[in-house]
Amino acid sequence: MEGPWVGSWRPHPRRGPILAEFSTPGPKYGLPGLTGQRGHDPTRYKAPAYTLRGTKCPVAANCSPGPKYYLHSSIMKTGKEVAPSAHVTARPHTKIEVTPGPSDYTTDPANKHLYHTAPANSMVSRPKDLKSFRTPGPGTYTLPRVLGPHTAATHAEPCYSMRWKSQYQSCFQDLAETPGPAAFSKVEMDVYKHRAPKYSM
């Protein structure tokens, strides 16, 4: 209900929220929080979270044998520990098979020796002289040079050769590289002048 007039205006109940009362864009917008893991603002840095677990569940009554059972000292975590002992049993039965005797084998010498034997020289004829397999003698080979620049097995010092006088920029150098007068044959005068009379005997 509207109240009495106060001066030139009459007070009335608020029709909606006032923007000056909020620091956010508006009361209908909700910004995500910066604490916790759920609903965290994705645009802000989030520190690693550590969970605090509660107490363990109570142990079941039938989880372990309990003190009412007696475990022998030979029972280990890997099983029962037994000292090595020999078993007294009957002799094992063997199946009788017919095997070959010594007379079934031959001891004649074979072409291929199967056992290590001492070296023995055999008496054979002299081998034929094969001329096609003759190797070159000592005089066939030549030793590499040990002097001069072209050596194969030794270190060669710098070598200087005595050459003739260079023709570079001399009066005898043919810069045009044209043939000289002696390179052409003599042309007969009858070719370019009046031919003289010839008389035959």
- pLDDT tens sequence across 166-184: 778 787 777 777 777 778 8
Kindly report the CA angle at 193 between 188 and 198, in degrees rounded to 5?
70
- pLDDT tens sequence across 95-132: 878 888 888 877 666 566 566 777 878 788 877 766 66
- pLDDT tens sequence across 29-60: 678 888 888 888 888 888 887 777 777 777 66
Picking from 158, 134, 140, the residue whose alpha carbon sits closest to that of residue 148 is 158
Residue 195 pLDDT exceeds 60: yes
Class of residue 40 by CB neighbours under 10 A (exposed 0-12, middle 13-18, buried 19+): middle
Residue 154 pLDDT exceeds 80: no
Beta carbons within 8 Å of 34's beta carbon, 6+ residues apart: 40, 41, 44
